[in-house]
Amino acid sequence: MKKKAQFEGWPLIVGLALLLFSSQAIAEDFQQQRQALVNIIKDDVLRTRDFLGQDMLDERVLDAIGKVPRHEFVPESERLYAYENRPLPIGYGQTISQPYIVAIMMELLKPKKTDRVLEVGTGSGYQAAILAELVDSVYTIEIIEELSRQAAGNLKRAGYANVHTRTGDGYYGWETAAPFDGIVVTAVASHIPPPLIKQLKPGGRMIIPVGAQFMTQYLVLVSKAGDGKISTQQIIPVRFVPLTGKH
C-alpha cells in the first residue's frame, strides 16, 4: 500500500511539469516572434527612409517593441496574428495600430526617460505600454468606456504601474495632469486640437494623424518652441480610425 501511495502523486507532478514546459515554450515562441517583428520594422524603415529622413530607429524604441507582449493586448481570437506587422481589430470598430507605425510615432516623439506623456486613444493599451517602457509616466484617455476598462486591465496584468488611464474625450486632453513633454494621438483628426497644443510644454512634441477618414491622412509632427511658437511637419501617409467626441 505504501508503494501505491508513492505513485499516486506522479500524474499531478508530471502534469505540472508538462504545463510548465509548455508555458516556457510558448513564452520563448512569443519572444522569437517579437524579435522577428523588430527585424521587419527595421526593413520597413529602410524602405520608407525618404519619408522619414533616416534609415534606422533609436534602439530604445526597438527594444520596447521587442519587450512588450502585444499578444496580451489583442482579443484571444487575434493572438495568432499578434506579431504580424499590421493593425488588428479590438472591438467597437477600433484597431490596435500596426507596430511599424507605433515605432515611427515613438521615434518622432523623441521620448526621454524623465518625460510625462499624454496619449489620446488608449485602445487596448498596447501603445501606452510601449510608451511606459520609454518615459517616466503615461496618461492615456479612451472615449469608449468598455475599451478603457479592458485596457486598464491589460496594462495592470502586464505590470505597467506608471500608466494612468481614464475614460473621456481626448480632444480636450487631461488638463489636471498637464503640461506634457509629449503627446501622442492614435486617431485621425481634421485639425490639431487647440487644447492639446495648450497642454504641450514648450520644447515638447506632439504626434498626430491629420486628415479625413476616407481621404489622405498624414502623420504630423507638431513642435512647440521655447517661446510657444508652433511648427508642423507632415511625415508619412497613414490610415487611422477617426477621433470621436462632441467636438
pLDDT digits (tens, 9 = 90+) for 83-104: 999 999 999 989 999 999 999 9
What is the end-to-end Cα distance of the chain in Å, rounded? 77
**181's grid cell:** 513633454
- Residue 181, in any domain of the structure: yes
- Provide DSSP, the chain: -HHHHHHHTHHHHHHHHHHHHHHHHHHHHHHHHHHHHHHHHHHHHHHTHHHHT-S---HHHHHHHHHS-GGGGS-GGGGGGTTSSS-EEEETTEEEPPHHHHHHHHHHH---TT-EEEEE--TTSHHHHHHHHHSSEEEEEESSHHHHHHHHHHHHHTT-TTEEEEES-GGG--GGG--EEEEEE-SBBSS--HHHHHHEEEEEEEEEEEE-TTS-EEEEEEEE-TTS-EEEEEEEEE--PBP-S--
**Alpha carbon distance 141, 110 (integer Å):** 21
Q: pLDDT, tens digit, for every residue of 137-148?
A: 999 999 999 999
- Written in H, E and C, the secondary structure of 69-84 is CHHHHCCHHHHHHCCC
Q: pLDDT, tens digit, for every residue of 144-198?
A: 999 999 999 999 999 999 999 999 999 999 999 999 999 999 999 999 999 999 9
In this prediction, residues 72-92 reach a mean pLDDT of 94
CA dist 241 → 16, 149, 171, 186, 188 (Å): 44, 20, 14, 8, 6
The total number of structural domains that make up the chain: 1
**50's grid cell:** 525618404
Residues with a known catalytic role: 97
**Alpha carbon distance 71, 185 (integer Å):** 22
In this prediction, residue 32 carries a pLDDT of 93
- Residue 3, in any domain of the structure: no
- Residue 221, in any domain of the structure: yes
Residues 187, 207: contact at Cβ < 8 Å?
no
pTM, 2 dp: 0.88
Query: How many other C-beta atoms can be found within 10 angstroms of the C-beta atom of residue 49?
Result: 12
- Residue 243, in any domain of the structure: no
Residues 164, 139: contact at Cβ < 8 Å?
yes
- Residue 2, in any domain of the structure: no
pLDDT of 15 over the 60 cut: no
CA dist 230 → 40, 128, 221 (Å): 34, 25, 10
- Residue 247, in any domain of the structure: no
| Burial of residue 183 (number of CB atoms within 10 Å: 0-12, 13-18, 19+) | buried
Q: pLDDT, tens digit, for every residue of 18-63?
A: 455 466 777 788 899 999 999 999 999 999 999 999 999 999 999 9
Structural domain for 72, as ranges? 9-238
- Residue 58, in any domain of the structure: yes
- Residue 68, in any domain of the structure: yes
**Alpha carbon distance 152, 164 (integer Å):** 8
CATH number at residue 123: 3.40.50.150
